[in-house]
Amino acid sequence: MLFPDFRGRRLRANKNFRRMIRETKLSCDDLILPLFAIEGKDIKKPIESMPGHFQLSCDYIVKKAKEAHEAGVPAIILFGIPDKKDSLATRAYAPDSIVQKAVKEVKEKVPDILVITDVCLCGYMDHGHCGVVEKGIIDNDASLDLLAKTALSHAEAGADMVAPSDMMDGRVSEIRQTLDEEGFSHLPIMSYAVKYSSAFYGPFRQAAESAPQFGDRKTYQMDPANSIEALREATMDVEEGADIIMVKPALSYLDIIYRLKEEIDLPIAAYNVSGEYSIMKAGEIMGWVNANEIIMETLLSIKRAGADLILTYSAIEVARELNS
Q: Is the pLDDT of residue 215 over 80?
A: no
**Domain boundary assignment for the chain:** 26-243
Average confidence (pLDDT) over 308-320: 97
Rounded to the nearest integer, the mean pLDDT of the chain is 94
Q: Is the pLDDT of residue 209 over 80?
A: no
84 is catalytic: no
pLDDT band at 119 (very low <50, low <70, confident <90, very high): very high
Cis peptide bond N-terminal to 249, omega within 30: yes
CB 195 within 8 Å of CB 167: yes
Q: Is the pLDDT of residue 103 over 90?
A: yes
- Rounded to whole angstroms, the Cα distance separating 310 from 277 reads 13
- Rounded to whole angstroms, the Cα distance separating 93 from 152 reads 8
Average confidence (pLDDT) over 86-112: 96
pLDDT score at 204: 84
| Local structure of 260: helix, strand or coil | helix
248 is catalytic: yes
Nearest to 247 by CA among 225, 278, 222: 222
pLDDT score at 205: 84
Least confident of 25-34, 75-84, 206-215, 228-237: 206-215
* Ramachandran area for residue 202 (φ above 0: left; ψ -120 to 50: alpha; else beta): alpha
- Rounded to whole angstroms, the Cα distance separating 250 from 196 reads 10
pLDDT score at 159: 98
Q: In DSSP terms, which residues pair with 114 in a beta bridge?
A: 75
Please report, rounded to a whole number, the percentage of residues in the chain having pLDDT higher than 70: 100
Distances (CA, A) of 70 to 51, 64, 116, 292, 323: 22, 10, 18, 20, 11
pLDDT tens figures, 4-33:
889 988 899 999 999 999 999 999 999 999
| Local structure of 152: helix, strand or coil | helix
Sign of the C-alpha dihedral computed for residues 201, 204, 206 and 212 taken in this order: negative
| Local structure of 49: helix, strand or coil | coil
pLDDT score at 60: 97
CB 54 within 8 Å of CB 94: no
pLDDT band at 218 (very low <50, low <70, confident <90, very high): confident
Least confident of 12-21, 104-113, 150-159, 250-259: 12-21
Cα dihedral: 219, 224, 226, 230 (round 10): 80
Which residues have C-beta within 8 Å of that of residue 238, sequence separation ≥ 6?
Answer: 193, 245, 264, 266
pLDDT band at 130 (very low <50, low <70, confident <90, very high): confident
pLDDT band at 210 (very low <50, low <70, confident <90, very high): confident
Q: How crowded is the C-beta side of 118, counted as CA atoms within 13 Å?
A: 27
- Rounded to whole angstroms, the Cα distance separating 35 from 274 reads 12
pLDDT score at 217: 83
pLDDT band at 280 (very low <50, low <70, confident <90, very high): very high
Q: Is the pLDDT of residue 255 over 90?
A: yes
Average confidence (pLDDT) over 161-185: 96
pLDDT band at 115 (very low <50, low <70, confident <90, very high): very high
pTM, full prediction: 0.94
Give me the helices (H) in the chain, please: 15-21, 58-71, 90-93, 98-109, 140-157, 171-181, 202-208, 228-240, 254-263, 274-285, 291-305, 315-323
Q: Among residues 248, 261, 281, 303, which one is catalytic?
A: 248
Q: Among residues 64, 107, 149, 195, which one is catalytic?
A: 195
- Fold (topology level) of 26-243: TIM Barrel (3.20.20)
pLDDT score at 249: 97
Please report, rounded to a whole number, the percentage of residues in the chain having pLDDT higher than 90: 86
Q: Is the pLDDT of residue 141 over 80?
A: yes
